[in-house]
């Protein structure tokens, strides 16, 4: 059996593939020339299971998606007091490259706009850090978040540095107000190198899944950042990640997210999933056009919205075989992550002639958890295996397998 999550992601990309609105980032020559049709998406659960579709192996520069993760590094290196003294946490309601500071404090409004991200880069490591040490710091942290060594695309970096007047103007402005201590040129160069780190959609979904777990990389098990830092990063992403579209995004889609001008996007739901999407055509505010549409679909179809109440934390699932019978059991509240694990167990375990799903310890299913679980049972039935359900408290009422039939009730 193949997990339906992959079919679902393929279907979402297929449905949106024909939407060619927007254009590649024109102000960085190397990005302007990118293949605009590339399209990939990946979802990683908090257990590290990654489901990827489309152009999932294509690398692109991380660009502004580096900002929340560099903010995490600065919080770890310098502590919240120092970082908040230099960079605020208010949505700016302005474009990402606006030359503006808070009127009274002269801080950039948040770390997601260029002014705040350049100030944040300048805070990395310590007050007298060498420019190379700051770049090394983000490269090392991003690699540990992704779970593999990442690299800088020097061609993209050089291409952006040729057109960096606006970011240089921002850095000089920061220096005149004492927000930036270092040499503005060196900081902009380091920030641009940070933006040129190459990732694919799996890296992005893994990096954001590490935020979703409160900082523990799901595959390596490393606690890459503290839960407090992960919380701060997700909160600021929710408030300001989508620039001047942040309020519309948070209410309509409800997945804290960050976009980059190469066409990447990340999204995160605490205790649930990390999401990475890539599609180079951008909308008017500089967010990936089809990327945004993928998030809208996930939010709608999967009930993935930060404020979708009534969804408890995921709980454990397990499998055991008893002779020719596979017994799957779940506990607690079955939402996306638990259902994804159940589907993986259905897809991956021995091909017994009978499969029993024991939900006697389940408190409830969320809508997406119920639909995913029933689809898994339907696929098992298609493999001509008998499917049985142990559900003494009827937490999965009316378990229709799509053809009007139900599992055998135990």
Considering only residues 193 to 252 of the shown chain, the ones binding ligand GLN according to CB under 6 A are 195
**What letter would DSSP give residue 287?**
S
Q: Which residues contact 149 (CB under 8 A, 6 or more apart)?
A: 143
CB-nearer residue toward ligand GLN: 120 or 167 = 167
What φ, ψ does residue 105 adopt, rounded to 5°? Answer: -90, -20
**Which contiguous run of DSSP H or E holds residue 61?**
strand 60-61
Q: Does residue 24 interact with ligand GLN by CB under 6 A?
A: no
Q: Which residue among 114, 120, 335, 366 contacts ligand GLN (CB under 6 A)?
A: 114
Q: Does residue 108 interact with ligand GLN by CB under 6 A?
A: no
Pull the structure tokens for residue 166.
């606006």
CA angle 324, 332, 316 (to 5 degrees): 55
CB-nearer residue toward ligand GLN: 262 or 317 = 262
CB of 66 to ligand GLN, least distance (A): 8
CB-nearer residue toward ligand GLN: 241 or 376 = 241
CB-nearer residue toward ligand GLN: 190 or 286 = 286
CB of 251 to ligand GLN, least distance (A): 22
Q: Which residue among 30, 153, 160, 356 contacts ligand GLN (CB under 6 A)?
A: 160
CB-nearer residue toward ligand GLN: 95 or 388 = 95
Query: What sign has the CA pseudo-torsion 401, 41, 209, 269?
Result: negative
Say whether 130 sits in a helix, a strand or coil. coil
CB-nearer residue toward ligand GLN: 50 or 64 = 64
Q: Does residue 94 interact with ligand GLN by CB under 6 A?
A: no
Pull the structure tokens for residue 209.
């899944």
Total residues in contact with ligand GLN, by rule CB under 6 A: 11
Using CB under 6 A as the criterion, what x/- string covers residues 276-315 for binding ligand GLN? ----------x-----------------------------
Considering only residues 179 to 198 of the shown chain, the ones binding ligand GLN according to CB under 6 A are 195
Query: What sign has the CA pseudo-torsion 365, 339, 15, 295?
Result: positive
The alpha carbon of 151 is separated from its chain's Cα centroid by a whole number of angstroms, namely 20
Q: Which residue among 51, 60, 71, 96 contacts ligand GLN (CB under 6 A)?
A: 96
Q: Which residue among 131, 260, 274, 314 contacts ligand GLN (CB under 6 A)?
A: 260
CB-nearer residue toward ligand GLN: 46 or 167 = 167
CB of 248 to ligand GLN, least distance (A): 17
Considering only residues 44 to 73 of the shown chain, the ones binding ligand GLN according to CB under 6 A are 63-64
Q: Which residues contact 156 (CB under 8 A, 6 or more apart)?
A: 28, 30, 31, 61, 196, 262
CB-nearer residue toward ligand GLN: 135 or 377 = 135
Say whether 371 sits in a helix, a strand or coil. helix
CB of 68 to ligand GLN, least distance (A): 12
Burial 14-24 (b: 16+ CB within 10 A, else e): eebeeeeebeb
Nearest to 240 by CA among 94, 104, 138, 124: 94
CB of 52 to ligand GLN, least distance (A): 22
What φ, ψ does residue 322 adopt, rounded to 5°? Answer: -120, 95
First to last CA, the chain: 23
The CB-nearest residue to ligand GLN is 64
Q: Which residue among 94, 97, 102, 301 contacts ligand GLN (CB under 6 A)?
A: 97
Pull the structure tokens for residue 315.
């709980």
**What letter would DSSP give residue 354?**
E
Specify whether the CB–CB gap between 328 and 317 falls below 8 A. yes
Q: Which residue among 70, 101, 141, 261 contacts ligand GLN (CB under 6 A)?
A: 261
Question: Which residues contribute to the site for ligand GLN (CB under 6 A)?
Answer: 63-64, 96-97, 114, 160, 167, 195, 260-261, 286
């Amino acid at each position: 059996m193949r997990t339906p999550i992959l079919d679902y992601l393929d279907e979402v990309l297929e449905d949106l593939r024909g939407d060619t609105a927007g254009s590649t980032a024109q102000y960085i020559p190397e990005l302007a020339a990118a293949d605009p049709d590339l399209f990939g998406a990946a979802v990683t659960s908090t257990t590290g299971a990654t489901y990827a579709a489309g152009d999932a192996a294509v690398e692109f520069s991380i660009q502004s998606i580096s900002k929340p993760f560099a903010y995490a590094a600065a919080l770890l290196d310098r502590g919240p007091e120092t970082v908040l003294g230099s960079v605020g946490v208010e949505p700016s309601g302005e474009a990402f490259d606006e030359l503006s500071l808070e009127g009274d404090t002269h801080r950039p409004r948040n770390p997601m706009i260029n002014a705040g991200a350049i100030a944040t880069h300048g805070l990395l490591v310590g007050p007298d850090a060498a420019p190379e040490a700051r770049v090394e710091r983000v490269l090392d942290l991003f690699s540990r978040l992704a779970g593999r060594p990442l690299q800088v695309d020097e061609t993209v970096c050089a291409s952006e540095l040729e057109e960096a007047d606006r970011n240089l103007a921002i850095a000089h402005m920061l220096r005149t107000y004492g927000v930036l201590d270092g040499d503005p040129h060196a900081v902009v160069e380091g920030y641009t190198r940070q933006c040129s780190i190459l990732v694919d959609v799996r890296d992005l979904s893994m990096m954001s899944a590490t935020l979703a777990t409160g900082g523990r990389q799901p595959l390596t098990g490393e606690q890459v950042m503290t839960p407090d830092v992960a919380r701060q990063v997700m909160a600021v992403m929710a408030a300001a990640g989508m620039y001047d579209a942040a309020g519309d995004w948070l209410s309509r889609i409800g997945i804290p997210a960050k976009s980059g001008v190469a066409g990447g996007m990340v999204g995160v739901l605490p205790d649930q999933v990390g999401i990475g999407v890539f599609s180079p055509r951008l909308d008017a505010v500089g967010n990936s056009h089809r990327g945004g549409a993928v998030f809208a679909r996930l939010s709608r179809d999967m009930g993935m919205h930060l404020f979708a109440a009534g969804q408890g934390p995921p709980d454990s699932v397990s499998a055991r075989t008893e002779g020719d019978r596979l017994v799957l059991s779940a506990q607690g509240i079955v939402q996306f992550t638990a259902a994804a694990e159940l589907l993986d167990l259905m897809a991956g375990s021995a091909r017994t002639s009978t499969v029993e799903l024991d939900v006697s310890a389940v408190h409830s299913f969320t809508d997406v958890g119920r639909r995913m679980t029933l689809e898994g049972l339907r696929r098992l039935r298609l493999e001509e295996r008998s499917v049985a359900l142990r559900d003494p408290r009827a937490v999965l009422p009316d378990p229709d397998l799509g053809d009007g039939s139900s599992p055998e009730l135990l």
